[in-house]
Amino acid sequence: MTDQTVTIAEEDDSVPAGPGIEIKNLYKIFGPDPKRWIGEVKKGMSKEELNRKHGHVLGLTDISLSMPPGKITVIMGLSGSGKSTLIRHVNGLIAPTAGEIICDDADVCQMTEQELRHFRRARTAMVFQKFALLPHRTVLENTCYGLDIQGVPRAKSEPEARRWIDRVGLRGFEDNYPSQLSGGMQQRVGLARALTTDADILLMDEAFSALDPLIRLDMQAVLLELQEELQKTIVFITHDLDEALRLGDRIAILRDGRLEQVGTGQQIVQNPANDYVTAFVREVNRGRVLQAATVARPLPESNLPDMKLSGKLVLEEAARRMISAGASEALVVGARNNPRGVLNVSDVLAAMVQPTETTSSQPKGG
Amino acid sequence: MASGCWSLPDALCHFPSLESSTLRTMRKTVDGGFRDLVRTYSDWIDAATAPLQVALNTLEDAFTNTPWIVVLVVLLALVWGASRDWRIVVGTTLAMLMIGWMDLWDDTMVTLAMVSVCTAIAVVIGLPIGIIAARSDRMQKIVNPVLDVMQTLPSFVYLIPVVVIFGIGKVPGMIAVVIYAVPPMIRLTNLGIRMVDAEVLEAAEAFGSSAWQKLWNVQLPLALPALMTGVNQTIMMSLSMVVVASMVGVGGLGKNVLQAINNQFFTMGFLNGFALVAIAIVFDRASQAFGHRLQKHREVRHD
């Protein structure tokens, strides 16, 4: 069944101009003398051996990942997988042992301290898991923080800050201190602070992980809505696959410092690359993740069904509409209403309930 | 002899110390050398300390020559400005009036002048050293043992070279007080900066802060409670040290206490002692209230 499906999820996505981030063969070893062991690690020394024999910890192994401009790239992994280490390489908070991070033809890893500071000020902004707001500054002052550092006078930075405080829904709280706000509101400040500098790269380190589930959904919606308009290059770290699927244009799954699979959410749910990914994907509510276009059959020669469905609809919604229309088949159309494939009720049902064939004998966990 | 030695050889029983004549020669050489050195440079030392001497005298004169009512009003204004708490202001008024009634006003003014100068100098020296110690582990390893020595060495011991170098007077007294009062400022600055939330610091870094910006925007403001405790401790230690400093010629309440000790004047000792306690409490409450006021963002907690 899977080999018949057409994966067209990415097809109608236009690529906006702007910098992407290209990570090439990145290695990170923690310890007193990482350079000494990098050769051995490249030759294939295992993480365990490096730790046991030489007392160094292998953080990241041979990461190559391209993050397209204007898109949300989610890096997903459990704790200890190296995801926080990886995101800190992008703005040079951590220097790699080997490898390159290319952004706009410049290698972040080769930058001098001063170039790096300039790069951070002009190009990147970061949102943190525990908000990392300055407790002695009000919401407004916190939001101005990035511009303060750049030496922008308050007369200029304040209107900008107020605009973003408005956009994240905190109007009226400008003069409050962070300790007076709830977690969700504090992270809105964190988001406003990051957006105010107008950097085109937004790094979000488990930005919503510390929030209650409902507030997390809320914040995800806020982020998606903003991204619709801003089209920033976002790197989003999470340990939650549902969050990854909801936000990510591209998802990279990280385990023990290695990339297990990189692809769109549809690709990862439909074709998990290995047992580890499969174990994750099994918990996913497929009906709310898989899209009509993902499971549609190729267009037949003739006899196109009358009912039309957008390819972006999730299966649950597609099924609901087909049932209420009493249709057993529907035509899946793309963004400009051009036909893409045909979806029938049994395919929908199969995709929603049937785990992919490779999973059937695999034990859970990883 | 053998009986007290558990039949051990003499070298293991009585510590084989240096000959007393050797020790005497050693002491004489070091003391003499030191004294000669000081004599050689005495003009230079006097010239270097002269401005300090003048400043101390001027401040002391300013405190003692100003009519008491003016000093009291200024002091109360300062206390109100720092604490915004009328209870502390009333307490200060009562304490100062009691001191005046007991005819200790002038001595208290001398002590206040000394303590304010010493505290200011201790903060000015302590803050940068604390910051440097917080920035480098190696620096901390150097600074900490020095502070340990400064805090445990009996103050009389370092008063000896200070007196040899600077003679008797306010300057050596001030140096003794500062040596005693500066360690808590250094330690608490160091500790406060090291305790700053690593994630907030990382955020500052991620937005492209320079080292100065991190210090000014994040480390010092977040270390403020510790810094204020440091200032508070420095004041307290200066106050307790002025009694010892009176032995090298610092006047004021300390001198009276010293006299009381020498002559067993019970009442005089206690009155002067309580005057010291009273201004200690005033300083303590006012500086703590000031510290709290600087952190008004901590007042309201969400959860």
Total-model pTM: 0.82
- Chain A residues closer than 8 Å to B213 by CB: 149
8 Å CB contact of A136 and B297: yes
Instruction: Show Cβ contacts of residue B189 under 8 Å, excluding neighbours closer than 6 positions.
Output: B126, B127, B129, B130, B131, B133, B134, B223, B226, B227, B230
A261: amino acid identity, one letter: Q
Q: Is the pLDDT of residue B160 over 90?
A: no
Decide if A91 and B206 are in contact by the 8 Å CB cutoff: yes
Residues A326 and A240 grouped into a single domain: no
Chain B residues in contact with A120 by the CB 8 A cut-off are 205-208
Residue ranges of chain A whose CB lies within 8 Å of a chain B CB: 91, 93, 117-122, 124-126, 128-130, 132-138, 145-146, 148-150, 177-182, 197, 203
Q: Is residue A3 part of a domain?
A: no
Residue A9 has a pLDDT of 41
Q: Do B206 and A120 touch (CB under 8 A)?
A: yes
Together in a domain, A298 and A201: no
Which pLDDT belongs to residue A18?
A: 58
Are B209 and A149 within 8 A, CB to CB? yes
Question: Phi and psi of A263, rounded to 5°?
Answer: 175, -175
Fold of B50-295: MetI-like fold (1.10.3720)
Contact A149 B208 (CB under 8 A): yes
**Does residue B249 belong to the interface with chain A, where contact is any CB pair within 8 Å?**
no
CA distance A141 to A147: 10
Contacts of B207 in chain A (CB under 8 A): 120-121, 125-126, 145-146, 149, 197
Residue A279 resides in a domain:
no
Last residue of a domain, one of A222, A248, A274: A248
Query: Of A227, A248, A269, at which residue does a domain stop?
Result: A248
In this complex, the residue of A137, A179, A182 whose CB is nearest that of residue B298 is A179
Domain count, chain A: 2
Task: Report percent pLDDT > 70 for chain B.
Answer: 96
- Provide the shortest C-alpha distance from residue A183 to chain B (in Å): 9
From residue A204, give the alpha-carbon distance in Å to each of A124, B16, B81, B172. 11, 70, 43, 58
Tell me which residue range forms the domain holding A80: 72-248
Which residue of A lies nearest to B205 if distances are taken between CA atoms?
Answer: A93
Task: Report the amino acid identity of residue A206.
Answer: E
Determine whether the interchain pair B205/A178 forms a contact, defined as Cβ–Cβ distance below 8 Å.
no
Residue A115 domain-assigned (yes or no): yes
Residue in the structure block whose two tokens are 């074709």: A271
CATH code, domain carrying A123: 3.40.50.300
In a structure prediction context, what are the per-residue pLDDT tens digits for chain A, which is 366 residues long?
344 444 444 444 455 555 689 999 999 999 999 988 898 888 888 888 888 888 899 999 999 999 999 999 999 999 889 999 999 999 999 999 999 999 988 899 999 999 999 999 999 999 999 999 999 999 999 999 999 999 999 999 999 999 999 999 999 999 999 999 999 999 999 999 999 999 999 999 999 999 999 999 999 999 999 999 999 999 999 999 999 999 999 999 999 999 999 999 999 988 889 999 988 888 888 888 888 888 888 888 777 888 888 888 888 888 888 889 888 888 888 888 888 888 888 888 888 875 655 444 444 443
Express each pLDDT in B180-227 by its tens digit.
999 999 999 999 999 999 999 999 999 999 999 999 999 999 999 899
Could you state, in order of their start, the residue ranges of all structural domains in chain B? 50-295
A107: enclosing H helix or E strand = strand A106-107
Cβ–Cβ < 8 Å for B297, A179:
yes
Supply the pLDDT for residue B6: 84
CB contact under 8 A, A135 and B210: no
Do the domain assignments include residue A281?
no
User: B17 falls in which pLDDT band (50, 70, 90)?
Assistant: confident
**Contact A247/A49 with Cβ under 8 angstroms?**
no
Residue numbers in A near B198 (CB within 8 A): none
Predicted local distance difference test score (pLDDT) of residue A71 = 93
Residues A348, A235 share a domain: no
Q: Is A118–B208 a contact, with Cβ atoms under 8 angstroms apart?
A: yes
Structure tokens at B12: 């293991």
From the centroid of its chain, how far is CA A260? 15
For residues A346 and A201, membership in a common domain is answered with no
**Alpha-carbon torsion (A281, A282, A285, A288), positive or negative:** positive
**CA-based nearest residue in chain A for residue B211:** A117
Closest CA to A97 of A42, A160, A166: A42
B200, B298, B300 member nearest A134 (Cβ):
B200
CATH of the domain at A322: 3.10.580.10
Per-residue pLDDT of B232-264, as tens digits, reads 999 999 998 888 888 888 888 999 999 999 999
- Across A121-155, b (16+ Cβ under 10 Å) vs e yields bebbbbbbbbbbbbebbbbbbbbbbbbbbeebeee
pLDDT score for A363? 44
Same domain, A79 and A215: yes
DSSP-assigned states of every residue in B114-145: HHHHHHHHHHHHHHHHHHHHHH-HHHHHHHHH
* Residues of chain B contacting A123 with CB distance shorter than 8 Å: none
